Chains A and B, each alone.
Chain A
Amino acid sequence: MAPDVVSRTLAGPRSLQRQNSASADDKPLITSLRLHIICLVLSLLAAFIFTLTEHDDHEHTLWCVFEIVMQTLLASLATIYFRVRISLLNETGVVTPVLVMVASLSLICEPIQRLLFGTGHAFEMLIMHSQCNLMLALAVCGFRMAFQRLAVMIAVFTTIFCCTISDASGLMPLTLLFVATAVTWLVAAWWETVDRRIVSSETGKIPKTWLATAAALPLLALLAASGFGSNKVTTALKGFMPSSGGTGENDPFSRGGVNDGDALIAGNENIKSFGPLDDAPFVESEQPSLYDVFNDQFDAPPKKIKNQQRAIALPPEMMKHIHQKMAEARKAGREFSLLRSEKRGNRDRIRDLKTKALFYIAGRTPLHLRMEVYDIFDGMEWAPCDAEPVLGLNITKTEDRHWLNIPQDGKGFEVYAGTAAHSVKNANLNGNIVPTPAHPVGVSIDKVDRADMYQVDSTKVVRMNRDSLPSMTPISFVSRCVDRSLIADSHRVTIVRRTTVRTLNDLTVSLPPGEKMEAIRRLAVQWTDHLPRGWPQIAAIESRLREQYALNREVAATSETSPVHEFLFETRTGGEYLFASAAAVMLRSIGYPARLVSGFYARPDRYDTDSRHTPVMAEDAHFWCEVSLGAGMWLTIEPSPGYDILQPPPGLLARLWAVIAAIGQLARDNMALLTLFCLAATIVVLNRRRLQNMLLTLRWRLTLRKSPSTLAIGLARLVDHRLRLAGIRRSGGTTLRRWARQPVLAPVREELARVADLADEVMYQTQRTGQVDTSELDLLARQLSYSELCKLRSRAAANESTHAA
Chain B
Amino acid sequence: MTTSELQKQPSAESDLQAVDGIRQRLNASLKGKADVIEMVLVCLLSRGHLLLEDKPGLGKTTLAKALAESIGGHFARAQCTPDLLPSDITGFNIFNQKTHEFEFRKGPVFSEVLLADEINRATPRTQSALLEAMAERQVTVDTQRYDLSDAFFVIATQNPVDQHGTYPLPEAQLDRFAMKLSVGYPAMDDEIRMLAEAVVDGRQPTVSSDACLQAGQLQALQARVAAISVATPVQDYLVRIATETRSHMSIALGLSPRGLLTLQRASQARAFLAGRDFVTPDDVLDVIFPVLGVRLGLEVREAARVTQEVLDAVTVPAYSEKSPS
- Residues of A in contact with B (beta carbons under 8 Å apart): 15, 18-19, 22, 26, 199-200, 202, 703, 706, 709-710, 713-714, 716-717, 720, 731-735, 737-738, 750, 753-754, 756-767, 769-770
* Complex CA–CA separation, A758 to B7 (angstroms): 10
Of all chain B residues, which has the CB nearest A756? B282
A202-B247, A770-B6 known; A735+B325 contact, CB < 8 A = no
Secondary structure at chain B's binding surface: helix, strand, loop or mixed? loop
* Complex CA–CA separation, A124 to B152 (angstroms): 80
Q: Are B321 and A710 in contact (CB under 8 A)?
A: yes
Q: Are B249 and A716 in contact (CB under 8 A)?
A: no
* Complex CA–CA separation, A762 to B323 (angstroms): 10
* Complex CA–CA separation, A766 to B249 (angstroms): 36
* Complex CA–CA separation, A96 to B279 (angstroms): 49
Q: Are A733 and B324 in contact (CB under 8 A)?
A: no
Q: Are A703 and B2 in contact (CB under 8 A)?
A: no
* Complex CA–CA separation, A709 to B320 (angstroms): 11
* Complex CA–CA separation, A374 to B4 (angstroms): 103
Q: Are B319 and A716 in contact (CB under 8 A)?
A: yes
* Complex CA–CA separation, A732 to B4 (angstroms): 25
- Closest 3 CB pairs between A and B? A732-B315, A764-B231, A733-B312
Instruction: Report which of B247, B278, B313 forms a contact with A764, defined as CB distance below 8 A.
Output: B278
* Complex CA–CA separation, A438 to B315 (angstroms): 74
Q: Are B2 and A754 in contact (CB under 8 A)?
A: yes
Closest CB in chain B relative to A478 CB, distance in Å: 68
Residues of B within 8 A of A706 (CB): 321
Q: Are B311 and A733 in contact (CB under 8 A)?
A: yes
A15-B249, A22-B249, A769-B9 known; A735+B280 contact, CB < 8 A = yes
Residues of B within 8 A of A767 (CB): 229, 277
Residues of chain B in range 288-320 having any CB-CB distance to chain A below 8 Å: 311-317, 319-320
Residues of B within 8 A of A759 (CB): 319
A713-B324, A754-B4 known; A766+B285 contact, CB < 8 A = no
Interface check B91, CB cutoff 8 A? no
Q: Are B325 and A763 in contact (CB under 8 A)?
A: yes
A720-B319, A766-B325 known; A199+B247 contact, CB < 8 A = yes
Q: Are A764 and B279 in contact (CB under 8 A)?
A: yes
Residues of A within 8 A of B4 (CB): 754, 757-758, 761
Interface check B168, CB cutoff 8 A? no
Instruction: Report which of B6, B279, B313, B320 forms a contact with A733, defined as CB distance below 8 A.
Output: B313
Instruction: Report which of B276, B316, B324 forms a contact with A762, defined as CB distance below 8 A.
Output: B324
Q: Mark B20-58, 1 if CB is under 8 A from A, else 0.
A: 000000000000000000000000000000000000000
| B: contact size bracket | 35 or more
Interface check B59, CB cutoff 8 A? no
A764-B231, A767-B229 known; A734+B319 contact, CB < 8 A = no
Residues of B within 8 A of A762 (CB): 324
* Complex CA–CA separation, A441 to B66 (angstroms): 111
Residues of chain B in range 76-135 having any CB-CB distance to chain A below 8 Å: none
Residues of B within 8 A of A713 (CB): 319-321, 324
Instruction: Report which of A703, A761, A764 forms a contact with B233, defined as CB distance below 8 A.
Output: A764
Residues of A within 8 A of B186 (CB): none
Residues of A within 8 A of B279 (CB): 764
Of all chain B residues, which has the CB nearest A773? B6
* Complex CA–CA separation, A757 to B283 (angstroms): 12
Closest CB in chain A relative to B264 CB, distance in Å: 13
Closest CB in chain A relative to B253 CB, distance in Å: 12
Q: Are A757 and B321 in contact (CB under 8 A)?
A: no
* Complex CA–CA separation, A402 to B292 (angstroms): 87
Residues of B within 8 A of A760 (CB): 278, 280, 282
Interface check B179, CB cutoff 8 A? no
Of all chain B residues, which has the CB nearest A749? B2
Of all chain A residues, which has the CB nearest B286? A738
Closest CB in chain A relative to B179 CB, distance in Å: 20
A714-B321, A735-B280, A754-B4 known; A763+B247 contact, CB < 8 A = no
Residues of A within 8 A of B323 (CB): 763
Q: Mark B232-259, 1 if CB is under 8 A from A, else 0.
A: 0110000000010001010000000000
Q: Are A703 and B282 in contact (CB under 8 A)?
A: no
Residues of B within 8 A of A763 (CB): 231, 233, 280, 317, 319-320, 323-325
Q: Are B315 and A733 in contact (CB under 8 A)?
A: yes
Residue among A15, A738, A761, A763 with the most chain B CB within 10 A? A763
* Complex CA–CA separation, A761 to B325 (angstroms): 9
Residues of B within 8 A of A709 (CB): 324
* Complex CA–CA separation, A413 to B315 (angstroms): 78
* Complex CA–CA separation, A199 to B320 (angstroms): 33
Instruction: Report which of B6, B247, B313 forms a contact with A761, defined as CB distance below 8 A.
Output: B6
Residue among A202, A709, A760 with the most chain B CB within 10 A? A760
Q: Are A766 and B231 in contact (CB under 8 A)?
A: yes
* Complex CA–CA separation, A202 to B319 (angstroms): 25
Residues of A within 8 A of B312 (CB): 731-733
* Complex CA–CA separation, A641 to B321 (angstroms): 68
* Complex CA–CA separation, A329 to B107 (angstroms): 107
* Complex CA–CA separation, A716 to B317 (angstroms): 12
Q: Are A764 and B282 in contact (CB under 8 A)?
A: no
Q: Are A750 and B317 in contact (CB under 8 A)?
A: no
Of all chain B residues, which has the CB nearest A764? B231
* Complex CA–CA separation, A199 to B315 (angstroms): 22
* Complex CA–CA separation, A731 to B2 (angstroms): 21
Closest CB in chain B relative to A409 CB, distance in Å: 80
Residues of B within 8 A of A754 (CB): 2, 4
Closest CB in chain B relative to A159 CB, distance in Å: 36
Q: Are A769 and B311 in contact (CB under 8 A)?
A: no
* Complex CA–CA separation, A769 to B9 (angstroms): 9
Q: Are B315 and A735 in contact (CB under 8 A)?
A: no
Residues of B within 8 A of A18 (CB): 249
* Interface pairs (15), CB distance under 8 Å: A199-B247, A202-B243, A710-B324, A735-B280, A735-B282, A735-B285, A754-B4, A756-B282, A759-B319, A761-B4, A761-B7, A764-B325, A765-B276, A767-B229, A769-B6
* Complex CA–CA separation, A199 to B245 (angstroms): 12
Residues of A within 8 A of B9 (CB): 769-770
